[in-house]
Chains A and B, each alone.
Chain A
Amino acid sequence: MSELTLAGALTDALATALDKDQRVLVIGEDVGQTGGVFRITDGLIGRFGDQRVIDTPVAESGIVGAAFGMAVAGLRPVAEIQFMGFSYPAYDQILSHVARIRNRSQHRFSAPMVIRMPCGGGFGAAEHHSESTEAIYAHIPGLKVVIPATPYDAKGLLLAAIDSPDPVIFLEPIRLYRLVREEVPEGYYTVEIGKARIETEGSDVSIITWGAMTHEVREAVEVLAADGISAEMVDLRTLRPLDEDAIIDSVQKTGRAVVVQEAPKTAGFGAEIAALIGERALYSLHAPVERVAGWDTTIPLKKAEHRYMPTTEAIVAAARRTLDA
């Protein structure tokens, strides 16, 4: 065991995978000598060489398209896109080919590959560096969409993603990269894709979230607890395939639900969760489902960004509204 940040756990996972499986390789912009813009691939080129840690031209569609070909031909590429906001040139590759080759070829070909993308805002970056567009990936049949919130999960989920027979969009909340350290086991282990994690058990209200918002939700759970309100925190970890049962079990137990996302509210993934609760747990509800989300604006730049980010206070207030209903 060693104390690692989420970023460190990801590096450890990549090294573990490269060491374990000769088919695994890392491909992306500046992933070699520089170790990636967030240093997630730091040191890997020295250990595994430039045939397995590959610096590419600046071309996201090319990176994903080439990695797709590699996966079809039997390798296990892990492609890095520098920021989620730079992934859109590759969207056609992801949507039209990566996600579909298994169906198109009826299992004859497949694309076991991982596309890593740092995501989310809250750190005052330039435009396009703070995106939370997970919904546009979660909407696509054939993709798995994973977003870890703890160092332990980050390593275990990334190793599971690399082992997955199907393509995985692996979202890395930038704000959590170096926020906390946690004991992370050495060597190989996986965390199952498609399974949510109940971080805090509670009986009064379910707060369902994923990614960086786990930080605010965790604070909100503490504030509520101090007030005698028992909130259950559900960290989805995987958006697709969605652990529907974990959500429904929790809401049936508490009878109240708050869905928290950093992305703009309208047509966000939180809407899917709210709809699911409506379909499968409506009669357990004592109050309308609350959504806490970013505004339906482009995420503001540094000076006004704090006005956009969902706050601990907003989550607490939403939880209280469900109890007052």
Chain B
Amino acid sequence: MKDIVAVWWFGGDSRRVAWPNMRNILDLEGRLVGEAPIDIETTRRLYRALIETRAYDKKGTTLQRQGRLATYAPLLGQEAAQVGSAAALDPHDWMVATYRDAGAMWMQGYPWEVLLLSRSGDERGGRPPVHVDVLPPSITVGAHMIHAVGISWAEKLQGTDRIAITYFGDGATSEGDFHEAMNFAGVFKTPTVFLCQNNGYAISMPRERQTASDTIAQKADAYGMVGEQVDGNDLFAVYEATKEAVDRARAGEGATLIEAVTYRVGPHTTNDDPGRYRDPEEERLALDRDPIERVRRYLEHEGAWDADWEEAVQAKASTTIERAVELAESLLPPSPEDIFGAVYEEMSPDLRRQFEQVTS
């Protein structure tokens, strides 16, 4: 069984790559091949989070099709990588993530309705509540990782125990800024967790076109930090690896690179057509590795799941997301004041002159 789990369907050139050192705790059947890092009650809580994240994601795609959102980047298939890693954080930890990381951001306190706002083309979607230190999603690829380094470095300099996690994809590791971020984190031993969701594709290009490295995790070696590859569709493995990285960071032992191997089941965004560059068979096979079904089976084996509970969880998730949509859509569009008023802390005289042209 272990061998089967370690063989990962990998996209693009349709070849199978075996990574024997990939951390794995739950197998495809939802059976433990290691020790569960969290108790049943916590697992049930995270299962609800997985379901809610998927409900949000499906709604995102639907709303975009209806013209109610701007471009949407589905995270379908990556729920465990996001929920499992974010679950290992303290509420006051920083998060610097991307347009495909709604699940992780929501786990850290970024409300669904604000995430929806950000995807609907509204600047106010970049403003989480005051106690939530999650930066608005980075749209440019790769430039944001160094921000997490700087943030966590500042916390270290100020003597707090706060750490920062940053999310990015396999494509982002090709950017020069990935190198600079990893290098600074290594040199200054910043309390940073680099969480790479290797979902197999950067838009149309498979991981093999991003790097000739066998794994992304091994890049950590070059920066003098710990690197580890985990099965990104295994909630327990992602949680455990992230928790260890977070603990190391908090203990002053520096940064970690985690490569969570997952699969982007959907298109890059709602504007993308994966049929142009990959075999649909791949997406079908990915369903066998569904990260949520695996947890469901585990809970069932443990006698902690039944159909009634499932129905209640699904219904609650649906209601929650519907309410978030209502909230997001109840807002009037941003005013000129919102736009002109947020360039600087105070509107400069030259800007005010333009603002008055718009509002007069």
Contact in complex: A241, B123 (CB < 8 Å): no
Closest chain B residue, CB of each to CB of A64? B146
Contact partner, A70, options B150, B181, B187, Cβ 8 Å? B150
Specify which chain B residues have a CB less than 8 angstroms from the CB of A68 in the assembled complex: 146-147, 150
Specify which chain B residues have a CB less than 8 angstroms from the CB of A101 in the assembled complex: 135-136
Contact in complex: B177, A61 (CB < 8 Å): yes
The winner among A61, A106, A110, A245 for most chain B CB atoms within 10 A is A106
Contact in complex: B147, A106 (CB < 8 Å): no
The winner among B144, B151, B353 for most chain A CB atoms within 10 A is B151
Q: Smallest CB–CB gap between A30 and chain B, Å?
A: 15
Specify which chain A residues have a CB less than 8 angstroms from the CB of B338 in the assembled complex: 106
B1 on interface, CB distance cutoff 8 Å: no
Hey, what's the 0/1 contact readout for A224-260 against B, CB within 8 Å counting as 1? 0000000000000000111011000000000000000
Given the complex of chains A and B, what is the CA–CA distance between A141 and B342 in angstroms? 10
Given the complex of chains A and B, what is the CA–CA distance between A97 and B136 in angstroms? 11
Specify which chain A residues have a CB less than 8 angstroms from the CB of B342 in the assembled complex: 102-103, 106-107
Specify which chain B residues have a CB less than 8 angstroms from the CB of A57 in the assembled complex: 180, 183-184, 187
Contact in complex: A108, B151 (CB < 8 Å): no
Tally of contacts, chain A with chain B, CB under 8 A: 141
Contact partner, B135, options A72, A92, A241, Cβ 8 Å? A72
Hey, what's the 0/1 contact readout for B95-127 against A, CB within 8 Å counting as 1? 010000000000000000000000000011011
Given the complex of chains A and B, what is the CA–CA distance between A93 and B142 in angstroms? 10
Hey, what's the 0/1 contact readout for A66-90 against B, CB within 8 Å counting as 1? 1111111111000000000000010
B67 on interface, CB distance cutoff 8 Å: no
Given the complex of chains A and B, what is the CA–CA distance between A25 and B146 in angstroms? 18
Hey, what's the 0/1 contact readout for B163-175 against A, CB within 8 Å counting as 1? 0100000000000
Chain A's interface size range is 35 or more
Contact in complex: B348, A194 (CB < 8 Å): yes
Specify which chain A residues have a CB less than 8 angstroms from the CB of B356 in the assembled complex: none
Contact partner, B177, options A65, A106, A166, Cβ 8 Å? A65
Given the complex of chains A and B, what is the CA–CA distance between A74 and B157 in angstroms? 11
Given the complex of chains A and B, what is the CA–CA distance between A97 and B126 in angstroms? 13
Specify which chain A residues have a CB less than 8 angstroms from the CB of B152 in the assembled complex: 69, 73
A35 on interface, CB distance cutoff 8 Å: no
A295 on interface, CB distance cutoff 8 Å: no
Closest chain B residue, CB of each to CB of A72? B151
B18 on interface, CB distance cutoff 8 Å: no
Q: Smallest CB–CB gap between B252 and chain A, Å?
A: 14
Specify which chain B residues have a CB less than 8 angstroms from the CB of A102 in the assembled complex: 342-345
Identify 6 residue pairs between A and B in the complex whose beta-carbon atoms are under 8 Å apart, listed by A's number.
A69-B149, A71-B150, A75-B158, A141-B343, A144-B344, A241-B351
Q: Please list the residues of chain A having a beta carbon within 8 angstroms of any beta carbon in chain B.
A: 25, 51, 56-57, 59, 61-62, 65-75, 89, 92-93, 96-97, 101-110, 141-142, 144, 165-166, 194, 240-242, 244-245
